A = this chain, B = another copy of it.
Amino acid sequence: MRVKVSRKAHFNAAHRLHNSAWNAEKNREVFGKCNNENGHGHNYEVIAHVTGQIDPESGYVMDMKDLKSFMVEEIEDRYDHKNLNLDVPEFASLNPTAENMVVIIWQRLRRRIDPKHELIVTLYETERNYVEYNGDE
């Protein structure tokens, strides 16, 4: 039986939406108040969804303690209580929109999850705005 198991984590971070190839006016026009020079922030919630066969011995698709550890190491330890633009290498030159963030998070978790399992990642920026990535190009 193929079951999807999901685990939620969270981190609190500052960010600023900005494209350094654009001038200030264009940045303000596209990103509005999200372009505020000194940044703003969110309580992000991230859900990793892993789909695979139930192991008949353990009754697990995968050990959720492992999934939790991967999410701590790849997400919480790197992003929690950080300024994404200034403190996190992967967003030094990549605009930390929710869309770009969910792809990066998916790529980081993908390396840790058994290749036989499918992976989807959902990222909530607020309760009203969220994004999801399943590896599609």
Bits for A93-112, please: 1 = Cβ < 8 Å to B, else 0: 01111111011000000000
User: Is B12 a contact partner of A61 (Cβ separation < 8 A)?
Assistant: no
Specify the chain B residue showing the minimal Cβ separation from A32. B65
CB within 8 Å for A129 and B7 given contacts A12-B40, A13-B40, A86-B38: yes
Given A14-B41, A32-B65, A36-B87, CB of A6 within 8 Å of CB of B80: no
Q: Is the interface of A mostly helix, strand, loop or mixed?
A: mixed
Q: Would you list 20 pairs from A and B whose C-beta atoms are within 8 A, ordered by A residue?
A: A1-B99, A1-B137, A2-B137, A3-B99, A6-B131, A14-B14, A14-B41, A14-B83, A17-B59, A19-B59, A22-B57, A33-B80, A36-B82, A36-B87, A54-B103, A58-B97, A59-B96, A59-B97, A60-B97, A61-B131
Residues of A within 8 A of B (CB): 1-8, 10, 12-15, 17, 19, 21-22, 30-34, 36, 38-43, 54, 57-61, 63-65, 80-83, 86-87, 94-100, 102-103, 126-133, 136-137
Can you add 12 more A-B contacts, CB < 8 Å, to A7-B129, A40-B81, A41-B41?
A1-B133, A3-B102, A3-B132, A4-B132, A4-B133, A6-B129, A6-B130, A14-B38, A31-B58, A54-B103, A58-B97, A59-B97
